């Protein structure tokens, strides 16, 4: 459940995590079905630059930015979640917890990056689906 004790100037956006999957033996495993993340839906230039570095990190291993620094940037945008781990126990809160983000699978981190940029699979589907009009 979203952490209500903090007061945010911009209300965090709830994003369902059903489309966050990890592929094992060519099978998609929806690790976070029925769970959600809450993100700050605005982006500073620092966060934007960090996300671009994360996207390029795999392609360019000479990047001087550390994975820890980049995961810390992600943790600044994810203010809460109700995610559980592989053992079905609740995960610690992600806000300002870059070490926790580092412990996730690469597919989970990639999904979080997409969500932070407003590009979850659900949102892409909604954007590409023709609108239904009643005449």
Mean pLDDT for all residues in the chain: 81
Cα–Cα nearest to 108, from 75, 76, 79: 75
Q: What is the pTM of this model?
A: 0.75
Q: Is the pLDDT of residue 28 over 80?
A: yes
DSSP 56-116: HHTT-TT--S-HHHHHHHHHHHEEEE--B-TTSPBPPP-TT-HHHHHTS-HHHHHHHHHHH
Helices and strands: H and E segment counts in the chain = 5, 5
* CB count in 10 Å sphere of residue 115: 25
């Amino acid at each position: 459940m979203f952490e209500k004790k903090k007061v945010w100037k911009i209300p965090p956006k709830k994003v369902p995590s059903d489309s966050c999957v990890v592929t094992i033996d060519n099978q998609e495993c929806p690790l976070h079905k029925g769970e959600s993340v809450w993100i700050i839906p605005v982006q500073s230039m620092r966060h934007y630059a960090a996300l671009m570095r994360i996207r390029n990190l795999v392609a360019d291993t000479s990047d001087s930015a550390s994975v820890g620094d980049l995961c810390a940037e992600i943790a600044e945008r994810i203010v809460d979640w109700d995610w559980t781990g592989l053992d079905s126990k609740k995960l610690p809160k992600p806000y300002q917890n870059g070490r926790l983000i580092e412990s996730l699978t690469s597919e989970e981190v990639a999904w979080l990056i997409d969500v932070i940029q407003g590009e979850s699979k659900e949102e892409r589907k909604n954007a590409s689906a023709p609108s239904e009009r009643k005449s």
